[in-house]
Structure 1
Amino acid sequence: MSISVQNISKSFKNKTALSDISFEVKEGELFGLIGPDGAGKTTLFRILTTLLIPNKGEATIANFDIIKDYKSIRNNVGYMPGRFSLYQDLTVEENLEFFATIFGTTIEENYDLIKDIYVQIEPFKKRRAGKLSGGMKQKLALSCALIHKPKVLFLDEPTTGVDPVSRKEFWEMLKRLQTKGITILVSTPYMDEAALCDRIALIQDGKILEIDTPREIVKHYPKTIYNVKAANMYLLIESLNIYKHKYSVYPFGEFVHYTDSRTNFNPEDLKLYLKTKNLKNISIEITQATIEDTFMELAK
């Protein structure tokens, strides 16, 4: 296994950040840690990259122990923290050269690994990092994390605050990196990005809720979900929440995802009820469960 985590726990004063976390990531796998802000993702990443020591449990990265072999881990992993942490007053080129020098290598030596990413920011190589757009900062940070050819790459919420086009490009880059044999552990609060991973772990309040492939996790959703829509979204949500047979009600884009507590649910009954609430243009259709639906169910 490229990453092995066994019973890791971490507390800060009276706050438990991680509780008995265990999972494994295979070599060359793109593994996603999926959960909202405050779920414990960043704390776990800092432990696995040897920046924090756990209260209990153990972990190995590329067969190196996170406590005993911390120096070896730092030489063999790439880490891209959630907040842009490069030197903002250095240029793109100077940042990359600096990180290459730290790891005793050169840009030229590992250029083949970062070429697909770097060519997109090369026209701005003389620009200071602090003056780059969000998407360009992201590409520079990834290039710096890869310049020493790491065995394992840790990416902590790499697409937060980045535009949709840059997000799509970033995940395409990760897929290409996978073909080069790099193991990737990525955290994200975006449920749509979870579907792009080989396997995912859903995390909430420092605990793992479930680990599986995105497809298998969605299969476990226990109920039929309906897309419900009406002319007045606010009134629709309010009306569904007070409906005596409702099981769950979640806004989902232009729809509301609704599940009913009855086994013999008839959508026409719900439509009649909504009409009594003065709702217009009502539509109710069966839809497929998503990872977000499954997460909300598991987190109850």
Structure 2
Amino acid sequence: MIQIQNISKNYGKQSVLHNISVPIYNRQITGLIGPSGAGKTTLIKCLMGMERSDSGSISMNNIQVPNRKLLNRIGYMAQSDSLYHDLTGLENIQFFANMYGKKIAKRRLREMLNLVQLDKEQHKLVEHYSGGMKRRLSLAIALINRPEFLILDEPTVGIDPVLKLDIWDRLHALKEESTILITTHIMDEAMKCDQLLLMKNKGISASGTPQEILSKFNVDNIDQVFLRLEEKE
């Protein structure tokens, strides 16, 4: 599991995260949701070791972050696509697969391309991909190494509804072998998560299963939960 203990982060005099403590359990999809500026991406960067928190600690299966040895066990998809535009889709996947230090079977490459429906576009240069195609390729790259921890920052932005359903089916199958943390602004996707962490005002304002949170606030959807939180302030 991922254990976050008393994490705080400031940028100069601006507080971005304040005293966050929360577990992220194995064999579950944990959704991290909240308004823009709530600190979701900063928290993910701390999880990845890309940012150092000012206080507190993060561990993955009892290994403290940051730790270079953990990187081969993490699949990460950022909000911004980090792809090589002068390579084809297939060449991008092969390049990132080689970075893990072991050969990935061709069958696995085909499986990932089929999952994100890029098998017919695999030999096209990425510079000619649409925004949605780039998101799909980034997702395939995050999954290629069968990661023990899968961290996805808004992975379905720009992806068509039918493919979104296929991806979520895949994520639910993957949770048996990966600890999954996903951020999303799409509330029907939030309801597909096993656990939700609602971020507001630099911290976690509510957590639990989607139904537990709806019942606690006596509302019908997650948007109304955030309205209730606004009313309490």
Instruction: Tell me if TM exceeds 0.5.
Output: yes
Instruction: State the distance in 2 between where 1:110 and 1:60 align.
Output: 33
Task: Choose the corresponding residue for 1:121, options 115, 118, 121.
Answer: 118
Could you tell me whether the CA contact under 8 Å between 1:199 and 1:212 is conserved in 2?
yes
Taking structure 2 as the reference length, what is the TM-score of the superposition?
A: 0.91
Matching of residue 93 in structure 1 with residue 120 in structure 2: no
Could you tell me whether the CA contact under 8 Å between 1:195 and 1:214 is conserved in 2?
yes
State the Cα distance separating 1:81 from its structure 2 match: 0.1
1:96-123 Cα shifts (integer Å, max 9, x gaps): 1111111112231781xx6544222122
- CA 1:132–1:62 in structure 2 vs 1: closer, same or farther (change >3 Å)? farther
1:3-52 Cα shifts (integer Å, max 9, x gaps): 10011010101211111111111112110001111110100010100101
Instruction: State the distance in 2 between where 1:154 and 1:199 align.
Output: 14
Instruction: State the distance in 2 between where 1:201 and 1:101 align.
Output: 34
The residue type equivalent to 1:96 in the other structure is I
- CA 1:192–1:128 in structure 2 vs 1: closer, same or farther (change >3 Å)? same
Matching of residue 61 in structure 1 with residue 60 in structure 2: yes
Instruction: State the distance in 2 between where 1:105 and 1:15 align.
Output: 42
Superposed CA RMSD in Å reads 1.8
Taking structure 1 as the reference length, what is the TM-score of the superposition?
A: 0.72
Matching of residue 187 in structure 1 with residue 183 in structure 2: yes
The residue type equivalent to 1:84 in the other structure is D
> Hey, what does 2:145 align to over in structure 1?
148
Segments of 4+ moved more than 4 angstroms: none
**Higher alpha-carbon Rg:** 1
Could you tell me whether the CA contact under 8 Å between 1:9 and 1:21 is conserved in 2?
yes
> Hey, what does 2:226 align to over in structure 1?
295
Instruction: State the distance in 1 between where 2:41 and 2:224 align.
Output: 23
State the Cα distance separating 1:71 from its structure 2 match: 0.3
Give aligned-pair identity as a percent: 37
Instruction: State the distance in 2 between where 1:162 and 1:123 align.
Output: 17
1:136-156 Cα shifts (integer Å, max 9, x gaps): 322211121122221000001
Q: Which structure 1 segments of 5+ residues have no match?
A: 223-287
- CA 1:161–1:136 in structure 2 vs 1: closer, same or farther (change >3 Å)? closer
